[in-house]
Structure 1
Amino acid sequence: MTTVVPTHPDSGHHGLPTHEVVLLLQTDPVSGLDEQEARHRLDRHGPNTLPRPRSAGPLLRWLRQFHDPLVYVLLAAGVITALLGEVVDSVVIFAVVALNAIIGFVQESKAEAALEGLRAMIRTDARVIRGGVVRTLPSERLVPGDLVMVEAGDKVPADLRLVRLAELQADESALTGESVPVAKDETALPAQTPVADRRNMLYSGTLVTSGTGVGLVAATGAGTELGEIHRLIGEAEVLATPLTRKLARFSRILTIGILTLAALTFAVGLVRGEPAAEMFTAAVALAVGAIPEGLPAAVTVTLAIGVARMARRRAVVRRLPAVETLGSTTVVCTDKTGTLTENQMTVRTVWTADRRVEVTGSGYAPEGRLLDPSGAPVDAAADQALHWSLLAGSCCNDAVLTLQEGRWSLTGDPTEGAMLALAAKAGLPGTASPDGGHVRAPLPRIAQIPFSSERRYMATLHDGPGDAGVGGTGGRGPLVLAKGAVEQIIALCAWQMHADGTVSPLAAAERAVVLRAAEELAGGGLRVLATAVGGPLVTGADREPSVAFSPERLTGTLALAGLQAMLDPPRPVAAAAVRACHDAGIAVKMITGDHAATAAAVGRAVGLLDDGPEEGGGAAGRVLTGADLAALPVGDHPDAVERACVLARVSPEQKLHLVQALQNRRHVVAMTGDGVNDAPALRRADIGIAMGRGGTEVAKDAADMVLLDDDFATIEAAVEEGRGVFDNLTKFIVWTLPTNIGEGMVILVAVLLGLTLPILPVQILWINMTTAVALGLMLAFEPKEDGIMTRAPRDPGRPLLTGALVVRILLVSALLVAGTWLLFQWELADGATFDQARTAAVNLFVAVELLYLFSCRSLTGSAWSIGPLSNRWVLGGVTVQVLAQLAITYLPVMNRVFTTAPLPAHTWARILVVALAASAVVAVDKRLRRTLM
């Protein structure tokens, strides 16, 4: 008979005792399911995989490139010109549209790979007990109620409720953000326990780091916590970037204006009795002239240049618009581990009965010094308590540090790696290998008592010299070393060691001193472990030491050597990068799954928090936890998140809601992350930033940008590049729009006054495309202006163009219209043909654009203030454009295609005079505005 069992992560298996979980899942905790029942459940629940997403095919992605109001107008113009027999005009228009579509199609990202990355995380084999027999099966065939065995090195194949275990620990950092492996047990927990604290559960996609365990499958596929994140990714809306939103609005407004003017042109012409065919031509000419055909290409090229610049600063952009989004960012939500910190535990302080020693150096590199409070070097060999503490920390240790390609990497537990690196820094004999490429435990081990969640300590037995004072024994004999939680180690100790090697009783008063020291260190966000040493425990040669070495024999036989306090240290440049963001008006918020005390300590170190109370909102902000947020009404979340600078112990869904809350306050949010738990928020943020070195593939695939060095300082550098990109895009738009508006207005004036068109549609296309490529695109190479990171972020609600820029655009447009009609009529009055007069008008448009280009290199400063040679691409573009204009003016083939004619020298002089006059008016306008500001 087929059974129905709950498989959603909210089913609460962590909150039930083992026997109730067995009943709920209708299984056997010893022999597991039988094969027939497993097949029934597989048929009902489906395979242990995540559903595949629906993705757009190549044809749909190609068609999407034409979904733009301006493109619709161009296509309509192309069709109309073809029907009117203007083949050259029609071909040029369609070529422009096709070129822009190809560029967009090539740049569009492939179908969402984040979900595929999630599916890959749970594809593994599993050892399953079915009918009392251990079998190895693909993880896809697991069903709720299966009994699964795991051991160190295994990837967890499904969500498991543990029923039996031995010294089991799991690395859940990718799911929860917890920076160290989590010790597991099978005890039932309160139903409200968050995922990060569910010690009796193992979750799909996480890694077993030590020990063994047996668990019942509580959820598979979409019902797992990983599946819940999959659902959140699917539901997280991929927002348009600030640039795409502004460009879309700009396109809509421009399209409405163009169609209105084109219709007005056609209607006025008909009212005046002009032929309908000629009015169609005029309306098309106006539409083609007013549309900035080069804008899509300019946007793509400018963003691509920004991508290249960011790549040189260790940031790889996966979606082009993300480049500009960084420049609009008002809030950076950053992960803690690996982004603001080194992601390498480091011992910072060693406390003994007689002194406190500070340790320099960062990460697992065995490079650093031991210093007393005055800054003087400390000799570990001369301080016996310090020496034994270091020896205990490095010998009760299964970690190995290895130098690979100039970087020290850890195999084992991060806390053990930190203690091992400390011993090497102190020069403890035997710690470092002769070749200097490895650091490992210095003494051979006879026996061990492994760490367990119940004991919370580890002890090892070595064949070495006994200490005369330790344990009341003398001479040579087995040496006991131990490390673990402070309370547990103190319970094993009867003595306390001093710097001279003597021991004294560890009475109640001394124990209180030790506990106060541990609390003080922990209050600073440090993880504190105690170390102890013991002398010979066995007398008589007829018994093996390993037989007598047991937890029961240790109590009251050890001497406390000291305390070692460690943390994942902030990156050296993190504080400066945070300060630079603050100077740029960008708020920085740390969002982490780690404990609040640890997060607060890092927050203070990098400048997110002041040294005052964490609660109540100090000068730099306050700390909130996931539990705090859960207790608040939903309506209060935006205000609470706005005030907080450190948010700790948050779940993946809460991360997503935090991003949404900030976006509801009109913030442009950049979100960093490296784990599976970060993927939904990365996808939802205005720009998701993943870690390239330590991040999961899921996070990278969900992100818009990947940091190659996992360094927060790279984000600050990328923001600077993003602001430069937006500046250059704005410069291009301010430069190109006067030409488009001027061309349209020239046509409109001709129709309203019943005059001959001074510029033909094909000539308008020539102006727009050649100047956009040869002149306008050169603005994409403009260097960043001074002070770019000291101004406030742009208001997300501010339009693409400010009022002052709109006025300048209209001014230049008016100058173009007036100058064109003046020159056109001047040439006709001087005896020139219509083709010559139109050629003069075309060259005037280009000349004004060319001079105006230098003005647009800075939207506020003078053209000379930024240096005429600071962008040599502009000089190259000007040369190309001049040659192109000579070609269209004097080459016979160009004369036939574009209806142009050669010009005499005096016409060029008139063109230059009018262009210089227009340029002088623009310069005066800029000078007056700077004076008024």
Structure 2
Amino acid sequence: MTVSVSVTAHHGLAAHEVVLLLETDPHHGLTGPQVAERLGRFGPNALPVSRGAGVVTRILRQFHHPLIYVLLAAGGITAGLGEYVDSAVIFGVVVVNALVGFIQESKAEAALEGLRSMVRTHAKVVRDGHERTVPSEDLVPGDLVLLEAGDKVPADLRLTRVVQLRVDESALTGESVPLSKDEAALPEAIPVADRLNMAYSGTLVTGGSGAGVVVATGAETELGEIHRLVGAAETLATPLTEKLARFSKILTVGILALAAATFGVGLLRGQDAVETFTAAIALAVGAIPEGLPAAVTITLAIGVARMARRRAVIRRLPAVETLGSTTVICSDKTGTLTENQMTVRTVWTPGERFEVSGSGYVPDGTLHDSQDRTPALDSHPALRWTLLAGAACNDAAVTEHDGRWDVVGDPTEGALLVAAAKAGLPAGRVARVLPRLAAVPFSSERQYMVTLHRDEAAGAPAAGTPAAQVVLAKGAVERILGLCDGQMDAAGDITPLDPTAVLRAADDLAGQGLRVLATAVRPAGAPDEFPPDGFGEDTVSGGMVLTGLQAMLDPPRAAAGAAVAACRTAGIAVKMITGDHAATATAIARRVGLLDGREDREGVVLTGADLAALPAAEFSEAVDRAQVFARVSPEQKLRLVEALQGRGHVVAMTGDGVNDAPALRQAGIGVAIGGSGTEVAKDAADMVLTDDDFATIEAAVEEGRGVFDNLTKFIAWTLPTNIGEGLVILVAIAVGTALPILPTQILWINMTTAVALGLMLAFEPKEPGIMTRPPRDPGQPLLTRGLMVRILLVSTLLVGGSWWLFQWELANGADLAEARTAALNLFVVVEAFYLFSCRSLTRSAWRIGLFSNRWILVGVTVQAVGQAALTYLPAMNTIFGTAPLGPDVWLRILLVAVAASLVVAADKRLRRGSV
């Protein structure tokens, strides 16, 4: 017989059939020779290590970019001109950028290593009839694995024995509540999240015990499939890198064409070929924006710092800008839109209903009735016993550490403890009043838990009589009703059970997306008592009294609704993608404003089964239309992101589990949950939320838009200078006169103004209304037509002004050095004036406020000192070929700068809507 592993739907077979199929023994496990043979055939139980490019290849790959080519050419040109310091600076920028890219690429590979680490553990197995502990890598199909609370499941197992076994699969499936397992066979088509007879690699046992046969190891596990998806997911270029690449190609072609035109014109005019070639090189040097890479990096870094202050940690610099271009946010439910802390919201008792305030495991809040009155428990016996049953028939504990409250055990039981504490029944007090004597633990078959207590409040028993006992129960509504003969009314009296009313109330609560549990009591004074050592399921088959229902959910975060609304105002679609049930997802979506009453429309809420049934031709349109996706698999999450990207969207995807990693890697911006998220999700993401709050995503989008604005402002500011410098050289060659600006002077302008003036735009605060405009069209170029017109306008003003001033100075007796110094300073002063205009591309510079960005004033001051040194220090005169200027020259320079500013202001006013 051939051992069948990955091709078999083991959850669809009975346990004994799986044992036969895998040729193992359900009691003695595999033999030593069987293990050795299968280890050789299937390999170790470890995720494969993909061999990527070598270190040298990855380093060289960092230089494969048009902008880098331009910078390398600039460095070579400046070196050829003998400007070794400037050449070293340019090459230094290239090397730093390459190192940053190499480091970031290396970090991205950590996502796969994080997945591999999830299965590096030890496992308890039975081999040759003996229990032993072995490294999880040594497990093979057919091994019999034993599970206990606290164990990490080491491989995919078909369960063969279950004793109240509960497994937390949230990291794999997105299911927010640990699942109770059993060994019964299931339909083959059932999704992973509903396979109760399976335990999957990387998940965590939270309670009970069990045993299972290994059916898949390594790459064949569900975790291995996610590993494959993460490795296959394409790391997309961000909108910024795509636009910069396109812009750099255009710039390269333009510079080469302009330099060639300059050289050709000079030859046609009969000028010396060497001098003409030198002039063409000077033009190329002037046209290259050497400060652009530094400006991009620093602007993004400032954006990173601002986001960190708003609790969003950026792992890749370009991701900052990507947020500003986001058109769709695909948000996980649990932990992002919700608190990831189960909370009782409603307590129903026969004839009464109470709402519970507060959220999470913090025991702050109150119970109040429909009149907003806080009930006194002594006056509401049914309410008191409902809360006592929830708190005493309970195996969880709620702890506080450094101001953070967490539950130890089942989150549902933690919610019941907190609800009782809010009503003045903390767990410690409940344990003293009702000390436990015995218990029938919860199981998936029973779907309820029963406990036996001594009732200290009943008073001391008479001599020779047993202590007063109380039996408490909690569980599924239908199963608790089956234990009850009566119900407790508002006065505490026992009345006939009305199952119809109870079920109607439970259905009403469940329809709101709440998880409903029923509680029951057999109070002290019942005719028979139970010996603790003989207390069991068969002894409490009836005679109970229903006290009420407790309804809970993982509540939405307080700021989630406002953040969703803000995103919609900003033109960003928000979609929920979760592994949880459709009813729960719909309820949360309704509460945070994702549905707005549209949940009844066809296609607004889709499940994983709905997606699987969609024809390929209709898939993308259906995904774009839907708002909530429930019970989806990791493959479907990845496919959803790809479908949205195929429709031209820039997608931000949030997630915290292993199942989210492929989609996080594929998305334009992957957002991982920092507090409760897995390391795999964090490694695959571009951004990590330190507070796990959806509102932080909205804040990060706002910061991202500000970053893109500031980058655009810098480019709109720097390009006129580069173009103007090149055109000045071209005009000089065409006219046949001396160059108005020397190559060394051009380098001075480009390098000093980029640092002292242009980089100050990186500190520009966000403009008002930044989140009321729609996101940028992903297909829109880096510079719009309106901005290109403005750039050409300012370039023309620079060329005309500098050429006029150069010729004016020569005509009025100035020597060549003085005329060139005048033209050089005119470029810098006009740039400084234009800098204030670029603080907003649409609004007047006066409306922004002179002191709203004090770094601008600092930069202008530093540049002014530098220009004074360049103009008046003899050493600088010698190095750069400059000469001192008189006050009258500075006056002419200022007049040209003011005139240029007025023209730009008029253009901004006339074409405000086209920029």
TM-score bracket, normalised by the shorter chain, equals over 0.9
Cα–Cα, structure 1 residues 466 and 882, in superposed 2: closer, same or farther, change >3 Å? Answer: closer
What is aligned with 1:102? 96
Select between 811-820 and 908-917 the one with higher mean Cα deviation.
Answer: 908-917
2: CA distance, partners of 1:751 / 1:482:
96
| Contact 2:125 2:144 (8 Å CA) reproduced | yes
User: Any idea what SS the aligned residue of 2:279 has?
Assistant: helix
Structure 1 position 294 matched with structure 2 position 291:
yes
Q: Which residue among 610, 615, 627 is the counterpart of 2:596?
A: 610
What is aligned with 2:569? 583
What is aligned with 1:436? none
Q: Which amino acid aligns with 1:461?
A: L
Residues 69-91 of structure 1: CA distance to partner in whole angstroms, max 9, x if unpaired?
233234335435545xx212x54
CA deviation after TM superposition for structure 1 residue 837, in Å: 1.5
Residues 513-561 of structure 1: CA distance to partner in whole angstroms, max 9, x if unpaired?
11111111111100000100114699789xx612442212212210111
What is aligned with 1:565? 551
Cα–Cα, structure 1 residues 440 and 28, in superposed 2: closer, same or farther, change >3 Å? Answer: same
What is aligned with 2:865? 883
2: CA distance, partners of 1:672 / 1:70:
32
CA deviation after TM superposition for structure 1 residue 230, in Å: 0.5
Structure 1 position 511 matched with structure 2 position 516:
no
| Contact 1:398 1:441 (8 Å CA) reproduced | no
What is aligned with 2:578? 592
| Contact 2:786 2:914 (8 Å CA) reproduced | no
2: CA distance, partners of 1:96 / 1:807:
29
Structure 1 position 454 matched with structure 2 position 442:
no
What is aligned with 1:214? 211
1: CA distance, partners of 2:889 / 2:746:
20
2: CA distance, partners of 1:251 / 1:873:
28
1: CA distance, partners of 2:438 / 2:851:
74
Cα–Cα, structure 1 residues 615 and 166, in superposed 2: closer, same or farther, change >3 Å? Answer: farther
Structure 1 position 549 matched with structure 2 position 535:
yes
1: CA distance, partners of 2:773 / 2:719:
26
2: CA distance, partners of 1:637 / 1:432:
54
2: CA distance, partners of 1:427 / 1:129:
49
CA deviation after TM superposition for structure 1 residue 930, in Å: 4.1
Q: Which amino acid aligns with 2:160?
A: V
Cα–Cα, structure 1 residues 31 and 746, in superposed 2: closer, same or farther, change >3 Å? Answer: same
Structure 1 position 786 matched with structure 2 position 780:
no
Structure 1 position 329 matched with structure 2 position 326:
yes
Residues 685-735 of structure 1: CA distance to partner in whole angstroms, max 9, x if unpaired?
000111111111111111111111001111111111111111111110110
1: CA distance, partners of 2:483 / 2:493:
18
Structure 1 position 251 matched with structure 2 position 242:
no
| Contact 1:333 1:671 (8 Å CA) reproduced | yes
1: CA distance, partners of 2:309 / 2:96:
27
Cα–Cα, structure 1 residues 931 and 518, in superposed 2: closer, same or farther, change >3 Å? Answer: closer
Aligned-residue identity in percent: 67
What is aligned with 2:34? 37
CA deviation after TM superposition for structure 1 residue 906, in Å: 2.2
Structure 1 position 498 matched with structure 2 position 515:
no
CA deviation after TM superposition for structure 1 residue 260, in Å: 1.2
| Contact 2:76 2:87 (8 Å CA) reproduced | no
What is aligned with 2:736? 754
Select between 524-533 and 456-465 the one with higher mean Cα deviation.
Answer: 456-465
What is aligned with 1:820? 802
Cα–Cα, structure 1 residues 504 and 539, in superposed 2: closer, same or farther, change >3 Å? Answer: closer
RMSD: 2.0
1: CA distance, partners of 2:284 / 2:432:
78
What is aligned with 2:468? 477
What is aligned with 2:86? 92
User: Any idea what SS the aligned residue of 2:468 has?
Assistant: strand
Cα–Cα, structure 1 residues 741 and 459, in superposed 2: closer, same or farther, change >3 Å? Answer: same
User: Any idea what SS the aligned residue of 2:509 has?
Assistant: helix
CA deviation after TM superposition for structure 1 residue 373, in Å: 1.4
What is aligned with 1:917? 899
User: Structure 2: 5+ residue runs without aligned partners?
Assistant: 460-464
User: Any idea what SS the aligned residue of 1:807 has?
Assistant: helix
1: CA distance, partners of 2:521 / 2:531:
16
Q: Which amino acid aligns with 1:414?
A: P
2: CA distance, partners of 1:540 / 1:460:
16
CA deviation after TM superposition for structure 1 residue 381, in Å: 2.5
Cα–Cα, structure 1 residues 893 and 616, in superposed 2: closer, same or farther, change >3 Å? Answer: same
Residues 122-137 of structure 1 correspond to what in structure 2 (within 5 A)? 122-137=119-134
2: CA distance, partners of 1:925 / 1:365:
58
CA deviation after TM superposition for structure 1 residue 96, in Å: 1.2
1: CA distance, partners of 2:477 / 2:52:
54
| Contact 2:63 2:98 (8 Å CA) reproduced | no
Residues 92-115 of structure 1: CA distance to partner in whole angstroms, max 9, x if unpaired?
134213224314523641341111
What is aligned with 2:843? 861
CA deviation after TM superposition for structure 1 residue 931, in Å: 9.3
Residues 628-643 of structure 1 correspond to what in structure 2 (within 5 A)? 628-643=610-625
Residues 38-62 of structure 1: CA distance to partner in whole angstroms, max 9, x if unpaired?
1111122211111223355554444
Cα–Cα, structure 1 residues 902 and 784, in superposed 2: closer, same or farther, change >3 Å? Answer: same
TM-score by length of 1: 0.94
How many residue pairs align between the two structures? 907
| Contact 1:152 1:209 (8 Å CA) reproduced | yes
What is aligned with 2:633? 651
Q: Which amino acid aligns with 1:98?
A: G
Select between 825-834 and 308-317 the one with higher mean Cα deviation.
Answer: 825-834
Cα–Cα, structure 1 residues 318 and 910, in superposed 2: closer, same or farther, change >3 Å? Answer: same
Cα–Cα, structure 1 residues 497 and 872, in superposed 2: closer, same or farther, change >3 Å? Answer: same
1: CA distance, partners of 2:185 / 2:832:
76
Q: Which amino acid aligns with 1:431?
A: A
Structure 1 position 526 matched with structure 2 position 514:
yes
Select between 788-797 and 63-72 the one with higher mean Cα deviation.
Answer: 63-72
Cα–Cα, structure 1 residues 69 and 605, in superposed 2: closer, same or farther, change >3 Å? Answer: same
Cα–Cα, structure 1 residues 276 and 721, in superposed 2: closer, same or farther, change >3 Å? Answer: same
User: Any idea what SS the aligned residue of 1:917 has?
Assistant: helix
CA deviation after TM superposition for structure 1 residue 932, in Å: 9.7
CA deviation after TM superposition for structure 1 residue 743, in Å: 0.8
User: Any idea what SS the aligned residue of 1:820 has?
Assistant: helix
User: Any idea what SS the aligned residue of 1:446 has?
Assistant: strand
What is aligned with 2:266? 269
What is aligned with 2:725? 743
| Contact 2:74 2:288 (8 Å CA) reproduced | no
Q: Which amino acid aligns with 1:382?
A: S
| Contact 1:152 1:211 (8 Å CA) reproduced | yes
| Contact 1:75 1:93 (8 Å CA) reproduced | no
| Contact 2:435 2:455 (8 Å CA) reproduced | no
| Contact 1:495 1:503 (8 Å CA) reproduced | yes
1: CA distance, partners of 2:149 / 2:444:
16
| Contact 1:394 1:441 (8 Å CA) reproduced | no
Structure 1 position 5 matched with structure 2 position 3:
yes
| Contact 2:818 2:883 (8 Å CA) reproduced | yes
What is aligned with 2:184? 187
1: CA distance, partners of 2:92 / 2:14:
65
Q: Which amino acid aligns with 1:102?
A: V
Cα–Cα, structure 1 residues 537 and 147, in superposed 2: closer, same or farther, change >3 Å? Answer: farther
CA deviation after TM superposition for structure 1 residue 744, in Å: 1.0
TM-score by length of 2: 0.96
Cα–Cα, structure 1 residues 152 and 40, in superposed 2: closer, same or farther, change >3 Å? Answer: same
CA deviation after TM superposition for structure 1 residue 498, in Å: 1.3
2: CA distance, partners of 1:143 / 1:801:
58
User: Any idea what SS the aligned residue of 2:796 has?
Assistant: helix
CA deviation after TM superposition for structure 1 residue 365, in Å: 1.3
Q: Which amino acid aligns with 1:518?
A: A
Q: Which amino acid aligns with 1:409?
A: D
User: Any idea what SS the aligned residue of 1:358 has?
Assistant: strand
User: Any idea what SS the aligned residue of 1:278 has?
Assistant: helix
| Contact 2:485 2:545 (8 Å CA) reproduced | yes
What is aligned with 2:462? none
